[in-house]
Structure 1
Amino acid sequence: MNKLMLVGAIVAWPFLSHAELNVIADLGGKSAAPFYEGINAEPQQQQQQQSNPPDYSEGSVLPVATPELTPGIVEPRALKLPGIGALFLIGDDDQSQEWLSRNAELLTHRGAVGMVVNVSSSASLQQLRQIAPNLQLAPVCGSDLARRLKLEHYPVLITEHSLSQQVSAQ
């Protein structure tokens, strides 16, 4: 295809967008159709019958338990997790509360987000939020993350470059 034909095809595209598509040659490969299934798809019959999605509240996920993770000492190590930002894991135990209290200002400065991986109740979660009111804390099971990072203990700060209990300004 020469440049003139390519330019003509680009210019004509808006006018041909409603035209029927004719396949001139099929050179093999896989269909891209699965990638487009979600675009302007008709709602599934089940979705049509369900007019309102279930009402989930934070309290409905509590208590949260992550059996792979317990309070303890974390040996610092290097990581390569580009784009992860700053994420920390805590529980509602005394060690986590003390760590959060000691590091809340630095965690806030870093824009860190907290996963509360072991929390027994809404009251315990609220107590953590009172210690660090400027931080986002979400009750989340950390089992998958613990397995992927070969992590056994918390509290811990996870960044794109390291995993450590020591929090610095960066």
Structure 2
Amino acid sequence: MQYIHPRIFRHFRGHYPVIRYTLVPVVLTGLLTASAMAALTVVADLGGESTVPLFDAVNNEINEFTPPRTLTPSSPSASPVTVDEMLQVSTPEMTPGRVENRRSELTGMAPVFLVGDDALSRRWLEQRRGDLQQLHATGLVVNVTDGTALRGLQTLAPGLTLLPASASDIARRLGLAHYPVLITADGLSQ
């Protein structure tokens, strides 16, 4: 039990728990209520204008402040885009070369392999074709000049999907400088 000065609480002798558990919470509640009722400070007065337009870029939902959009029909191209029209593909961050095998946690990563139109990639593709087919891996041809070169790689890997695509983003994210390489959920291997 804490010491209570006798002059202040002499008429409350024996009633200390009443004071402690009743009076203290009442006083604290009064103080908190008084501070909560203090006047508010106006930080900015926008003159009664709605702030909804200020948040349109963030929210991007259509509302009464959104200007009407007019749709113009786009004319379809006369012919679909072919693979040859998507070429030349290059990945300046990557060149053919040796890749050190390394383990990584790439959970959920579907097997992907990166190759180019070069002698090292062709040999690697022929040697690893069975493994790549077993994994159902998708190939990205990261350096190829034309459709003839791409079709040449596709004949080396029947049953595998080979797509021309730059791998600049993959190279930066995984710290890759060379290919051919197989990327799986377990890591990188050549």
The TM-score with structure 2 as length reference comes to 0.62
2:97 matches 1:76: no
Q: 1:61 to 1:105 in 2, by over 3 A?
A: same
Q: Choose which of 97, 104, 109 in structure 1 pairs with 2:122.
A: 97
Q: Distance in 2 between matches of 1:79 and 1:86?
A: 13
Q: Which residue of 1 aligns with 2:155?
A: 130
2:179 matches 1:154: yes
The CA deviation at 1:55 is 3.1
Q: Which has the larger radius of gyration?
A: 2
Other structure's SS at 1:75 match: coil
Q: Which residue of 1 aligns with 2:85?
A: 60
Q: 1:52 to 1:72 in 2, by over 3 A?
A: same
The CA deviation at 1:69 is 0.5
The TM-score with structure 1 as length reference comes to 0.69
Q: Which residue of 1 aligns with 2:188?
A: 163
Q: Relative contact order (alpha carbons < 8 A, sep ≥ 6): 1 or 2 greater? A: 1
Give the % identical residues.
41
Instruction: State the aligned residue count.
Output: 128
Q: Distance in 2 between matches of 1:56 and 1:81?
A: 33
Other structure's SS at 2:115 match: strand
Q: Distance in 2 between matches of 1:51 and 1:45?
A: 16
Which piece of structure 1 moves more, 56-65 or 117-126? 56-65
Q: Choose which of 78, 88, 110 in structure 1 pairs with 2:135.
A: 110
Q: Which residue of 2 aligns with 1:50?
A: 74
The CA deviation at 1:145 is 0.7
The CA deviation at 1:61 is 1.3
Post-superposition CA distance 1:30-68 (Å, at most 9, x none): 99x94876xxxxxx645x320426832211111111010
Structure 2: runs of 5 or more not aligned: 1-54, 63-68
